[in-house]
Amino acid sequence: MDKMLIQCQDVWKRYGNKEALRGLNLQLEGGKIVGLLGPNGSGKTTLIKVLNGLLQPEQGLVLIDGETPGLYTKSLISYLPDKPYFSGWMKVNDLFELFEDFYADFDRAKAEQMCKVLQIDSNLRMKTLSKGTKEKVQLILVMSRKAKLYLLDEPIAGVDPAARDYILTTILNNYNPEGTVLISTHLISDIERVLDEVIFIQNGQVIRQELVDDIREKEGKSVDELFREVFRTIPYGGGAW
């Protein structure tokens, strides 16, 4: 068996008595753009945080490039969180410096170039930027790394269609082709064209994992349609294992 980039075996994560991941299994190889699709509360964000080491599962095995989350895997992963994580006093330049200091694969010239294109003044402090601009800066930082695994948590939620296009094009044009991009979202129709593969997640389990063109070929329908169908037929209500 060749080496998988992501391997999860029987991963459980609880918040109090609420189970976010229920024995999740997942295998993912490198060099792909993958959609992590599921309704709200299905465990997408939890899975991403388990992969990047922000959450520790109670049970199960998580391997990234053959290693459990730690120093090595953190140097491989470029993570876009679902909310901004910067302290307001930092200037855009300070952030570039920080990324340059800690990530060997950060391409500062590229980041500066992307800022220039968007006409973002890199001497401004984060707290003075609008919400949309902050998100763009964050995307620039994440995509300026030549990472092995990009974990993008809801990159297109809550932005207008034009910004959505900008974000998707930025991801497509800048990701490291040898790396894998995992994009979580519930806005499938906007994103399905750029995906190689989709993972459907529900109630903390992977219920389907398939190549998107295989879905179109076999089912004769778009991923968006399939998604609506799958999540309609499975009856709602917890405790389904």
Indicate the residue among 9 and 222 with the shorter CB distance to another protein.
222
φ, ψ for residue 219, nearest 5 deg: -95, -15
What is the nearest approach in angstroms of another protein to the Cβ of residue 89? Answer: 6
What is the nearest approach in angstroms of another protein to the Cβ of residue 122? Answer: 17
The CA–CA distances, whole Å, from 239 to 18, 60, 175, 235 equal 10, 19, 38, 11
Q: Mask 4-33, x = binds another protein (CB under 8 A)?
A: -----------xx--------------xxx
Binding-site size, another protein (CB under 8 A): 52
Contacts of 127 (CB under 8 A, 6+ apart): 88, 89
DSSP state of 24: E
Exactly one of 7, 93, 122, 222 binds another protein (CB under 8 A); that residue is 222
Q: For the chain, what is the radius of gyration of the CA atoms?
A: 18
Indicate the residue among 158 and 236 with the shorter CB distance to another protein.
158
Contacting another protein within 46-85 (CB under 8 A): 49, 52-56, 71-72, 74-75, 77, 79, 81, 83-85
What is the nearest approach in angstroms of another protein to the Cβ of residue 235? Answer: 27
Indicate the residue among 166 and 231 with the shorter CB distance to another protein.
166
Exactly one of 221, 234, 236, 238 binds another protein (CB under 8 A); that residue is 221
Exactly one of 6, 154, 212, 227 binds another protein (CB under 8 A); that residue is 212
Half-sphere exposure at residue 101, Cβ-oriented, CA atoms within 13 angstroms: 6
Q: 62 with 68: CB under 8 angstroms?
A: yes
Q: 34 with 6: CB under 8 angstroms?
A: no
CA distance 108 to 95: 10
Burial 51-63 (b: 16+ CB within 10 A, else e): bbbebebeebebb
What is the nearest approach in angstroms of another protein to the Cβ of residue 67? Answer: 12
Contacting another protein within 149-208 (CB under 8 A): 165, 168-169, 172-173, 177, 189, 192-196
Exactly one of 213, 234, 238, 240 binds another protein (CB under 8 A); that residue is 213
Beta strands in 93-186 (DSSP E): 149-153, 180-185
Half-sphere exposure at residue 36, Cβ-oriented, CA atoms within 13 angstroms: 27
Contacts of 215 (CB under 8 A, 6+ apart): 198, 221, 223, 226
Exactly one of 1, 2, 40, 101 binds another protein (CB under 8 A); that residue is 101
Which residues here bind another protein, judged by CB under 8 A? Answer: 15-16, 31-33, 49, 52-56, 71-72, 74-75, 77, 79, 81, 83-87, 89, 94, 98, 101-103, 165, 168-169, 172-173, 177, 189, 192-196, 212-214, 216-217, 220-225
